[in-house]
Amino acid sequence: MKPISWINEHKNVWRVAALVLLPVAFLGPWAFDRVNVPAKYPCSPPNVRLEGDFCGVPLSGIQMSGWIIGGFVSMIVGLITGEVELAHRGFEFLLILLYSLFVFLLILPIINTILLILRRDRKRQQVFHMVVCGLNLGIGLLWGMSHYPRFFYALWGIWLYIVLIISALVWEALALAAGRKPSRGW
């Protein structure tokens, strides 16, 4: 049996595995909330001494996503009710909108994987899934490298997410290649 055909025959197995592990990655820590703790006092686990008088309290991807979505909803409600003026908070609104788009993109591979399992393979859907995973790889690396990369072991959630996205890209590319019919010359 060729390796490519094995990959194609078992694609739903690895898709289900990814579907199980992606929420686990979101439950894991993605960033730190900085808390002022004088250096003479220890940071007790799971907190990590970041620098000087600051400890980091790990925040899960779910918590961060909830805060970002909550900020977006709050801003929209404020605009509708007139409590927030776009002229005074335009840049903040654009920033919250961008972060909300990132959260949507980060969650989209879960939805795409469910659709790929249920609907079977459709070339366009596989390509769309690969494009989304490519975008998420960039977002994930940007996020992971900008939040204390020195403590990558403590922020295992974002790194698990990145590994899963890379795996999904590789597996889907192989499955897509295996699904093509070989050409018969000229």
Whether the bond into 29 is cis, omega within 30 of 0: no
Give a yes or no: residue 185 inside a domain.
Answer: no
Two structure tokens written together for 6? 């094995």
Most confident of 1-15, 20-34, 37-51: 20-34
- The count of domains in the chain is 1
Residue 108's CB is within 10 A of a number of other CB atoms, namely 16
Establish if 182 belongs to a structural domain: no
Q: What is the domain range of residue 160? A: 3-177
Measure CA of the first residue to CA of the last residue in the chain; give whole Å.
28
The answer to whether residue 15 sits within a structural domain is: yes
Residue 124 lies in a domain: yes
Which pLDDT value is given to residue 185? Answer: 45
Mean pLDDT of 31-51: 87
Please give the Cα distance from 69 to 72 (Å, whole number). 5
Question: Please, are residues 22 and 110 in contact by the beta-carbon 8 Å criterion?
Answer: yes
| 72-85 per-position pLDDT tens digit | 888 888 888 888 77
Examine residue 183 and state whether it is found in any structural domain, yes or no: no
Whether 150 is in a domain gets the answer yes
pLDDT digits (tens, 9 = 90+) for 84-140: 776 666 677 788 888 889 999 999 999 999 998 888 767 888 899 999 999 999 999
Enter the pTM of the model. Answer: 0.83
For residue 184, tell me if it sits in a domain: no
The two beta strands, 54-60 and 48-51, are antiparallel
**Residue 17 in domain:** yes
Which DSSP symbol is given to 186? -
Q: Are 12 and 117 in contact (CB under 8 A)?
A: yes
Average pLDDT of span 44-55: 86
What is the spatial distance between Cα 64 and Cα 102, in angstroms, rounded to a whole number? Answer: 11
